[in-house]
């Protein structure tokens, strides 16, 4: 692979990343922030139940 092919590949990758970053909206950022917060809350609740018997026979 010569230098010109490599430069063309890098330019293509940079252009693709640039288009992706420009197309991100505030709604997308908010949605991902809410998903992250939900995942953190889920892990927090799971950590609180450490050692608690949650087997079906308990209920």
* Mean pLDDT computed over 17-33: 88
pLDDT for res 59: 57
Determine the 3-state secondary structure of 20 from DSSP.
Answer: helix
d(CA 41, CA 23) in angstroms, rounded, equals 29
Q: Is the pLDDT of residue 58 over 70?
A: no
pTM assigned to the model: 0.55
Report pLDDT digits (tens) over 27-55. Answer: 989 999 999 999 999 999 988 888 777 77
pLDDT for res 15: 92
Reported as half-sphere exposure (CB side, CA atoms, 13 A), residue 29 has a value of 7
Q: Indicate the domain borders of the chain.
A: 3-48
């Amino acid at each position: 692979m010569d230098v010109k092919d490599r430069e063309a590949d890098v330019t293509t990758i940079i252009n693709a990343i640039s288009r992706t970053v420009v197309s991100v909206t505030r709604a997308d950022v908010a949605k991902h922030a809410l998903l992250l917060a939900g995942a953190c809350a889920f892990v927090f609740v799971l950590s609180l139940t450490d050692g608690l018997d949650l087997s079906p026979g308990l209920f």
